[in-house]
Structure 1
């Protein structure tokens, strides 16, 4: 029988061929699906990883930039309290593992903790060198931590920097979970698609074509859309809208999940921008937002030929509130001041006025001229400054107490004073500083003369650094005599600075610079130690039966505020071997008034050691004789302004007599300063004054001259 290659065979052959085609298609589809799954996982993992890292990096850069600006003034004045307050606020941000504020040498100044156990240690971790050397915001990643660091600058001077470590573990865990869920769902989807192809394999090529079309429509296109959206988000377009999907399958779940993730990223981006541009305490614009707005306004006004004014308002003696009433009271005071400033700006600043808080106790107001009202910018700025001074001079109610602070305001004009934002802000700060020098609670306009004075002060501060180590500074001693028998009983140590170019610099000039810059924290202990060492040399040239001479050393308010004075005095006495009763420390009456409870506690500790405490310039303070009943002192020094006219002025004589009588009733020694004539000494002696110093008795002399005087 002859076999024919008939229709059935052809059908069978075609069916076999179709079956082979189907199997080939299934194998091809299986391979394509596997490759596609891997591609999706790789793209999604890479996209999510890059997006998460970029989000953390942008957030970290914004946070450290804002924190660096906020820390410039506290770091410049070495205000650890203010640094700690800012550091703790930053540490409370979610995902923050650590925070380090360091100086220009890389030594830790603050880590946000209360005790600062790492204070003074040099950073030695793997990312420390990069952070220290950075001149701009830099990001480093090591293991599970992203370290974002930025330098803290004051003009061209680098004061130090701040580092914040962000934890990447949670982000990576979320990423791995999301990828795992996506992998599982893609596997489920692939199995369903392959099963569907198997069940409908009889449809052969047409069904295969339909399946390929369905696969392209239902899987590849959505993933491609998601990848495009992910790339847009990666480029920084966080508000990119996700493709809408009403599908109820895994791809629809994936697209909706990706959409929710995109909305969350956009929401966090808006929150980060809000934090970056808003002051967290007052809700006002911060330095960054104000600077961008100022640049925009200057660009518009420069083309239009119009003017504007910047007002820098700084609360006077605000640190006293934090030191005496606590930081909560300080925050409350800032809120009350912000409300008063805002009200004054609304009333007198015009519709285009802008108010911002630059951090700490400094507020900045931008005022534009109002040509339609016929008011130039200088007049508008003067009116607003006067209104601010009046409004902020009223007392604030804090913890049931009325506190008087006031404000110092500096005003600078565009384009008269400067044409750029940086120069304008610098000029406003200089003018504000001049308002403080003028007595505070007032305002001053910027002028070139003010700028030159500020530049001279900065130069003087730079030259003052290291002047003691270079041998330019020395001590002179003004003898102190007992009036009853004109016997030498001690000397007051006076700091002198012999500048290589300027010659002898007045102490009233460089002491103020040292006090405001914080250099007094270094000079004070050096002067104290040198005076104690010289006093030991005096004893060697005295007769054995003579009473040892004392040395008196002036103490600055900043040394008292630090609270380290008793420990410093004890260390100097221990190192030099000087007896405690031979050392007298002098402080002004106004220093006591600024924080009386704290000062009384420090002075009591000094007196327990045997050190004598004298009140200098007595009678020129706010309370006068009332302090003698509360402050533990051993002596008072009558100010030279009373001694000068004591033989002729009945009022000065009466006041001096009252001081002497009151002090003696409390067993307190009385010392007269500025005795330059014999009739002054005679009157003081008749009134019972114990000790005196002045040019009539002896001029200040160096240590060698004083040793000759003793010999």
Structure 2
């Protein structure tokens, strides 16, 4: 039996003989020298750290005070451009990580960025609480950053403040450099000391040379070959040749295992790349693949002519498929849409066109025309968008049902609209959103005006925050009359916004902003409480209003909130209003997709005594079906039907049918938008229970309604 000498045993035997002789001679000398070096370095490092910290603190005090003085007038006049210019000079200084200008409430006014990405946001970092509370210059540090804040005042009024964050990394680098220099000096001294010790090690040189030669041949050379192969594999070259080795020791085993590992890594890399860059449902390129491809194309075109068009597409109302047919049906619909979109893109035969699924029901088409191509990229992109709209508009069969959907497309061009991938994607998303606002199922090219519209929307959202507390938001009340005898029986609470800059803002505009931003979660309970308080006051003060009810509109977001039921109960309890005098109005879209949970919520409110009305009835795609699944006490016929009852037989027939159907199942019918006497008479003759509109009574303030009741 052939004995195998292990590499580890051979190495340990040779190294042990060499090391043992050297350690006996130098152990005591090295130990004493190392201890002295550590003590000297520790003392020096503490001194240098104290000096560097003191210098940075003095610099922070001076710069923050100077910047605070420079920002008094710009912040007072809210001159963001001047604020940005002032803090831009500071941001360019070394060691400065950030400069933040904030108002007296701790909201960010300027963060030095070009797009003011954090404008209006509350400072929420660990330093923020002390910064806002500080009345004088204040410094904080967490070991990595030094935060220096300085209040900005004009007279006794505090306008806000400025924060400058200094990175301690550079100071640490200077400190390390000085320590390294001292270390080098100590090493030089140590080297002189080691000359004497070196005489003792001469006898080991011969043994060391023999050991080194043996290790080089038996260990170092094959390991270096493996290291070179590993570097090639790390760079993505999986075809590198691993040197064959038939040795019977551990090195031979390592070389053979490395060769098998290379094959396994190559196989897994192919699988991972396929999964990382491909959408699993549609087989298209995914978001990551699109972004990398876009970055590479833009980089390749730097300094060279070339054009890129990006079509950002979103399937309209796709959530409706998932909510009504289920997510499996939604996946099937997406696969069919993908096939149609892909076929349309291929029809245009644009070289290197890329179709990617950006996420959910969003798709992106990337078109590139090289320099010298005579085609008009804008025209090609518009024609492709038109073709995509036509293709997606055709109905598809999903689980035996025909589904009709549309697609909204935003188009942006490089280099006309943007020069970076992030900006192109942002612009495409903005243009797509504008296509949806324009009625969906169409396309829009990006323009600077769209960006400005987004900025205006953000400004409106900022102004809407706190508008109720500032007294800008108020309630108007429109009378609801009994059609039989034109008796006042109730009011509908309508939210109004009178802004000092915008003037009177249309309710659909600011309510949409409130819902999109989530502010409706704050404003909604305030409106509900105020309406209940006013109605209770009218009932107590005026005999004619003893049984008056108030109708309050509820947004889909409010209805889906976990705290909605408790908010209704709190408004009734705090105002003293009887639940039967509160009517909640909701639209069909607020119910779609979650009928079971919302049905339970509405049943609980009805058990409490609150009345539920279905608003804008007849306009939803589900028609009258929700009356069977959602408990309601009444329906409000949409004003679009009421407007044409005198001249359109179809609208008259539909209105009559709604009234008959509602009465047959015992629910109340309210007609909104009664603007003419003829409309009133037709609706009254057909048995409509209640009505509201300018002919019956215009919206009025609470004080004006007092006069009406008095």
Task: Give the equivalent residue in structure 2 for 1:694.
Answer: 693
Counterpart CA distance in 2 for 1:631 and 1:639 is: 18
How far apart are residue 311 of structure 1 and its match? 0.6
Alignment correspondent of 2:632 = 633
d(CA) in 2 for partners of 1:29 and 1:643? 100
Shift of 1:271: 5.7
Corresponding position of 2:425: 425
| Unpaired runs of at least 5, structure 1 | 1-24, 37-104, 106-123, 131-205
Equivalent in the alignment of 2:390: 390
SS, match of residue 412 in structure 2: strand
Alignment of 1:460-479 (within 5 A): 460-479=460-479
**Cα distance, 1:377–1:506 mapped onto 2, change above 3 Å:** same
Structure 2 gap segments, 5+ residues each: 1-10, 23-105, 107-123, 128-205
Q: Is the 8 A contact 1:541 1:707 kept in 2?
A: no
Greater alpha carbon shift after TM alignment, 444-453 vs 355-364: 444-453
Q: Is the 8 A contact 1:467 1:473 kept in 2?
A: yes
How far off is 1:432 after superposition? 0.8
Cα distance, 1:397–1:675 mapped onto 2, change above 3 Å: closer
Shift of 1:393: 2.6
Q: Distance in 2 between matches of 1:536 and 1:35?
A: 101
Paired residues in the alignment total 522
| 2-structure distance, mates of 1:26, 1:459 | 74
CA contact (8 A) 1:348 1:383 kept: no
Shift of 1:470: 4.0
**Are the counterparts in 2 of residues 541 and 710 from structure 1 also a CA contact under 8 Å?**
no
In the alignment, which residue of structure 2 is the partner of 1:253? 253
Change (3 A) 1:503 1:31: farther
Determine the structure 2 residue equivalent to 1:664.
663
Distance of aligned partners of 1:609 and 1:295 in 2 relative to their CA distance in 1, 3 Å threshold: same
1:549 positional shift: 1.5
Contact 1:367–1:380 (CA under 8 A) maintained in structure 2: no
**Separation in structure 2 between the aligned mates of residue 546 and residue 492 of structure 1, nearest angstrom:** 14
| Aligned position for 1:352 | 352
Distance 2:651 2:21 in 1: 101
1:510 aligned residue:
510
The normalised TM-score by structure 2 is 0.63
User: Aligned pair in 2 of structure 1 residues 346, 372: CA closer, same or farther (>3 Å)?
Assistant: farther
SS in 1 for 2:379: helix
Structural mapping, 1:243-282, within 5 Å: 243-258=243-258, 260=260, 274-282=274-282
Q: Residue 305 of structure 2 contacts residue 370 of structure 2 at CA under 8 Å; is this kept in 1?
A: no
* CA distance in structure 1 between the partners assigned to 2:672 and 2:21 by the alignment: 95
Deviation per CA, 1:385-416: give whole Å up to 9, x if none.
Answer: 22322332334444454433322111122233
**Deviation (angstroms), 1:223:** 4.1
CA contact (8 A) 1:409 1:444 kept: yes
In 2, Cα distance between the equivalents of 1:275 and 1:648? 61
State the 1:336 CA deviation.
Answer: 3.2
Matched, 1:318 2:318: yes
Deviation, structure 1 residue 353: 0.4
2-side partners of 1:632 and 1:26: how far apart?
85
Instruction: Note closer, same or farther for the CA distance 1:250–1:496 as it changes in structure 2 (3 Å cut).
Output: same
Aligned equivalents of 1:391, 1:564: Cα separation in 2 = 43
- Partners of 1:430 and 1:556 lie apart in 2 by 25
Partner of 2:497: 497
Greater Cα shift, 547-556 or 400-409: 400-409
How far has the Cα of 1:493 moved from its partner? 1.0
Residue number in structure 2 paired with 1:579: 578
Number of the residue aligned with 1:438: 438
3-state SS, counterpart of residue 307 of structure 1: strand
Q: Secondary structure at the match of 2:688?
A: coil
Of 8, 13, 16, 1:30 maps to: 16
**Cα distance in 1 for residues equivalent to 2:209 and 2:376:** 79
Q: CA deviation at 1:366?
A: 0.8
Find the aligned partners of 1:281 and 1:650 in 2 and give their Cα distance: 48
Match of 2:176 in 1: none
Question: What is the deviation of 1:314?
Answer: 0.8
Q: Match of 1:435, SS?
A: helix
Q: SS at the partner of 1:481? A: strand
Question: 2: distance between equivalents of 1:508 and 1:208?
Answer: 87
